[in-house]
Amino acid sequence: MDQLMEKLMEWGALYGTKILGAIAILIIGRIVVGMLVGSVRRLMKKGNVDETLTKFGLNLTRILLMTFVFIAALNALGVATTSFIAILGAAGLAVGLALQGSLANFASGVMLIIFRPFKAGDFVEAAGVAGVVENISIFSTLMKTGDNKQMIIPNSNITGGNITNYSAKETRRVDLVFGIGYDDDLKKAKQLLEEILKADDRILSDPAPVVAVSELADSSVNFIVRPWVNSADYWAVYWDLTEKVKLTFDAQGISIPFPQRDVHMHQAATA
């Protein structure tokens, strides 16, 4: 028993100070890490950084700092940390190589959150998909298509191509083309188109809508009709104008030509 107590006293004298030092490093280190993370949080909040990126950045900062604190505590215990750091470095390299695609998506997600080419609720076309953005995360973007399909798109696919944001501006121009026959009254058709535009309250007066002859085509005289509307009214105006022009032209006796071919047969004279 005396020998056991003596051994314990020797072990306490040898390692007690180191253990207390390691515990002190862990406690103080955790407090310091909390203070540093709080400072980073305030800086990111002051810079209006996106909430998703803020949470991810704070978690990553906390993990990295606590890793250093843990290594310092092991070093205080007398544990050789050189090999441990080498193992961490090798593991980090292996993980980085294995997750190249994920890291590319992460970098793209950071770019999307910082530069904000679109936000949740915008109607965009990106990576070959058109739909409403529902959520932007670090690795992927969630979109809902017009037929209510949910699309999960890797962020690297989005930043690697063109992005068309149809909701970025408050107003949009509706581009329509209507053709009339060569025998129809051109001035009357133009007047009817202008009246249709004036009768629609959703069409903006500034910029003024444009109605002009754009082409003398093979089988028709083509008008361009370009009114400006609020972005939210774009498709409703597009469909309504197409229907109203057809009904009005039919009622006023103005034809809308369609491609056709006339075949003339000649009877050859027989000997």
State residue 5's pLDDT score: 62
Q: Give pLDDT, residue 176.
A: 97
The DSSP secondary-structure symbol of 203 reads: B
Please calculate the CA angle 88-61-157 and round it to the nearest 5 degrees.
85
pLDDT (tens digit, 0 to 9) for every residue of the chain, 271 residues total? 666 666 655 655 556 677 777 788 888 888 888 888 888 888 777 767 666 667 767 777 888 888 888 878 777 777 666 666 666 666 665 655 544 567 788 888 888 877 889 988 999 999 999 999 998 888 899 999 989 999 999 999 999 899 999 999 999 999 999 999 999 999 999 999 999 999 999 999 999 999 999 999 988 999 999 999 999 999 999 999 999 999 999 999 999 887 666 666 767 666 5
The domain locations on the chain are 11-98, 118-165, 171-251
Rounded to 5°, angle at Cα 179 from 178 and 182 = 155
pTM: 0.63
Question: For the sheet containing 176-180, what is the strand order?
Answer: 176-180, 221-226, 210-216
Domain 118-165 has CATH 2.30.30.60: yes
Task: With H, G, I as helix, E, B as strand and everything else as coil, classify residue 252.
Answer: coil
CATH class given for the domain over 11-98: mainly alpha
pLDDT of residue 36: 86
Same fold? 118-165, 171-251: no
* Dihedral pair phi/psi, residue 218, rounded to 5°: -60, -40
| Length of the chain counted residue by residue | 271
- The CATH architecture annotation of domain 171-251 reads 2-Layer Sandwich (3.30)
Cβ contact 84:71 at 8 Å: yes
Q: Which two tokens stand for residue 131?
A: 């739909």
